[in-house]
């Protein structure tokens, strides 16, 4: 896949780190911080690192990113994210644009112009903190569509009441489904007869409104 990454500091570093491990990606980075460009080009010799302003068409022209598959916009300035995403989408035929949105209220502005894959960083972070603060034994939490659907990763401790019970006998709400169980480095796709064991990591897709019941049923 051909990917262009716009701005961002630590975010672009970690993304490059994980993306460059898969050799088949062609990666182009545009960043306004000259010193940081030097750091990135030393660390990621296979990526093309360009120092410049990605809201300027001549920089995008120089970067030769026409018809790329995906653009990722990581600036802390929503205006830069919007203008660069729009330029790539409308003028350089980059069809998929994923952008960070720093101010929650700006999400609708991005939607309004057709940039519909937005990551509302402050809201995502606030949600994760809220989940971890109120749900014990929660390993990870990921909001899916509209934040109403979530993916929970719960760890079954030795005190959990669900140990030794079959999934069909658990009082799990109907708006939740156990998608997978990670046990002894193996992934199990469970059915009603699967028994819960201590140390299991359970992945549940659930509606947000019943998540507390899910947590109670599985690890309470």
Partner 1 sequence: MEKNNTLEKINKAIIIGCGRMGAAIGLKMSEMGKDVTVIDQDESAFRKLSKAYGGNSIIGDGTNIAFLRENEISESDLVVCATNDDNTNIFIALMVANIIGVKHVYVRVYDNDQVNLLSKYKINVICPSELSVTAFIYDFKREGTEHENNSN
Q: Which residues lie near partner 1 (CB under 8 A)?
A: 55-58, 77-80, 82-83, 86-87, 90-91, 105-106, 108-109, 112-113
Residue number with CB closer to partner 1 (32 or 198): 32
Task: Give the Cα separation of 219 and 11 in Å (integer).
Answer: 33
Closer to partner 1 by CB, 58 or 158: give it: 58
Q: How far is the CB of 36 from partner 1 (least distance, A)?
A: 20
* Least separation in angstroms between CB 130 and partner 1: 23
Nearer to partner 1, 30 or 215 (CB): 30
User: Where on the phi/psi map is residue 135: left (φ > 0), alpha (ψ -120 to 50), or beta?
Assistant: beta
Task: Report the residue number, 83 or 188, with the smaller CB distance to partner 1.
Answer: 83
**Rounded distance, CA 179 to CA 159, Å?**
22
- Helix spans in the chain (H): 10-19, 34-43, 57-63, 78-91, 107-112, 121-134, 211-219
C-beta separation of 215 from 207 below 8 A: no
């Amino acid at each position: 896949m051909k990917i262009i990454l716009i701005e961002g500091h630590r975010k672009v570093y970690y993304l490059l780190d994980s993306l460059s491990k898969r050799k088949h990606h062609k990666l182009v980075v545009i960043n306004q911080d000259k010193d940081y460009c030097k750091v990135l080009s030393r660390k990621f010799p296979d990526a093309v690192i360009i120092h410049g302003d990605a809201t300027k068409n001549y920089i995008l022209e120089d970067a030769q990113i026409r018809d790329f598959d995906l653009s990722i916009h990581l600036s802390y300035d929503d205006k830069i994210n919007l203008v660069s995403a729009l330029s790539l989408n409308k003028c350089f035929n980059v069809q998929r644009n994923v952008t960070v949105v720093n101010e929650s209220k700006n999400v609708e502005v991005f939607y309004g112009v057709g940039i519909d894959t937005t990551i509302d960083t402050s809201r995502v972070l606030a949600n994760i903190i809220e989940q971890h603060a109120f749900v014990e034994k929660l390993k990870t939490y990921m909001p899916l569509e509209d934040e109403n659907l979530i993916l929970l990763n719960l760890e079954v401790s030795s005190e959990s009441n669900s140990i030794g019970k079959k999934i069909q006998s658990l009082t799990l709400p109907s708006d939740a489904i156990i998608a997978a169980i990670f046990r002894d480095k193996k992934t199990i796709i469970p059915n009603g007869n699967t028994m819960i064991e201590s140390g299991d990591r359970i992945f549940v897709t659930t509606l947000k409104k019943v998540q507390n019941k899910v947590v109670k049923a599985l690890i309470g």
